[in-house]
Amino acid sequence: MPVMRAMVLERPGTALVMRERPVPLPGPGEILVEIAACGVCRTDLHVIDGELPDPRYPVVPGHEIVGNVAATGEGVGGFAPGTRVGVPWLGATCGVCPYCRAGRENLCDNPLFTGYTRDGGYATHAVADARFCFHLPEQADAAALAPLMCAGLIGWRSYRIAGEGTALGIYGFGAAAHILAQVAAWQGRRVYAFTRAGDTAAQDFARSLGAVWAGGSDEAPPEALDAAIIFAPVGALVPVALRAVKKGGRVVCGGIHMSDIPSFPYRTLWEERQVMSVANLTRADGREFLAIAPKVGLKTEVVRYPLGQANAALNDLRNGRLRGAAVLIP
């Protein structure tokens, strides 16, 4: 029986452990993916730390999967063996709840999420629902594509929800921000990048990707912002960002989990400023973003780790030691 390897989270708050198990067979509507690369996302840290509701253990984290179809289950069309595919965070939806029916499948009442409520991509193989997978360019480097599958897709949704304003603040310059800064610069917007105070390396990195200004999150931008996106999981940034946006401006929280938001005077919200969160993605977001990515000429900056070094990659992400995105290579 063929064997696969996976880095498994057995209990929250513990290190991942390498396990061997039989390669699963794809069920009806599913594909078996032989993984070429899987990105490491901050959400994986929240899964590992037990910060998300209704967890399932043991679980294989990872929802930025790039690989090739190794086998298909009954009733799967359009995914010939060998086809290059991407598997994102949204693993499946129910299709019948009010949100699914309204075209808001990102808010589905009964979803499955890759690397959270179903096994993900910190592995040599994964099974995925074919309806939620994306075709990806065959020639591109798999590691370079991996961050697009979440940092890119959910970043794109956050960016769209931030609106059309030309002065855009981004708090937390990690994987998602380094992709969005390129999109925004390509569209002629002015990006203001906020990092941890004193992180001059991240600020230099942001400027190299098209940010017109970069500074610490304790600094005020040189002009009032039309909108701001917060990717850092730091609730204290919500009132900070609200103070940086102009009247009618919007603050979008792009992460799945944040520390508590401190109380702030109503004056900070007044004048039709808005705070919103972004949850998950729809398949339409994915198609839209993957169509725009080649036009932008997106270049992702990745740091490769062998699969067995997943814990080291997660530690580097947790400690802010990464420039761009960590990617696991099985």
CA dist., res. 179 & res. 119, Å (int) = 26
Stretch that binds Zn ion, among 6-14, 106-114, 205-213, 301-309 (CB under 5 A): 106-114
- Give Rg (Cα) of the chain: 19
What x-and-dash track marks residues 151-180 binding Zn ion by CB under 5 A?
------------------------------
Name the one range near Zn ion by CB under 5 A: 13-21, 148-156, 228-236, 321-329.
Answer: 148-156
Segments in the chain forming alpha helices (H): 42-48, 98-101, 142-145, 151-161, 175-186, 200-208, 237-244, 283-296, 310-318
* 150 interacts with Zn ion by CB under 5 A: yes
Three-class secondary structure of residue 272 per DSSP: coil
Find out whether 161 and 104 touch, Cβ atoms under 8 Å. Answer: no
Q: Are 11 and 48 in contact (CB under 8 A)?
A: no
Q: How far is the CB of 249 from Zn ion (least distance, A)?
A: 26
* Beta carbon of residue 306, minimum distance to Zn ion (angstroms, whole number): 21
Footprint (CB under 5 A) of Zn ion, residues 108-127: 108
The residue range among 40-48, 127-135, 164-172, 235-243 that interacts with Zn ion, by the rule CB under 5 A, is 40-48
Using CA atoms, how far apart are residues 143 and 263, in angstroms rounded to an integer? 41
Min CB(266)–Zn ion separation in Å: 33
Interaction between residue 94 and Zn ion (CB under 5 A): yes
The yes or no reply on residue 93 touching Zn ion (CB under 5 A) is yes
Which of 43, 106, 280, 300 is in the footprint of Zn ion by CB under 5 A? 43
Peptide bond between residue 81 and the one before it cis (omega within 30 degrees of 0):
no
Are 327 and 143 contacting, i.e. CB atoms less than 8 angstroms apart? yes
The window from 12-20, 100-108, 135-143, 270-278 that contacts Zn ion (CB under 5 A) reads 100-108
CB 276 within 8 A of CB 161: yes
Binding-site member from 100, 127, 175, 227 for Zn ion (CB under 5 A): 100
How many chain residues interact with Zn ion (CB under 5 A)?
8
> 114 phi and psi, to 5 degrees?
-65, 130
Which window, 26-34, 87-95, 131-139, 163-171, contacts Zn ion (CB under 5 A)?
Answer: 87-95
Q: Hey, what are 70's tokens? A: 């190794």
52 touches Zn ion (CB under 5 A): no
CB nearer Zn ion, residue 90 or residue 212: 90
Of 31, 41, 126, 290, the one binding Zn ion (CB under 5 A) is 41
CB of 255 to Zn ion, least distance (A): 9
From 7-15, 102-110, 128-136, 206-214, span contacting Zn ion (CB under 5 A): 102-110
Cis ω on the peptide bond leading into residue 58 (within 30° of 0)? yes
Closest CB 106 distance from Zn ion, rounded Å: 10
Helix, strand, coil percentages (3-state) for the chain, rounded to 5, are: 30, 30, 45
Residue type, 269: L
Q: Cβ closer to Zn ion: 108 or 252?
A: 108
Contact residues for 111 (Cβ-Cβ < 8 A; gap 6+): 90, 91, 92, 93, 94, 105, 117, 280
Query: Which residue ranges make up the site for Zn ion (CB under 5 A)?
Result: 41, 43, 93-94, 97, 100, 108, 150
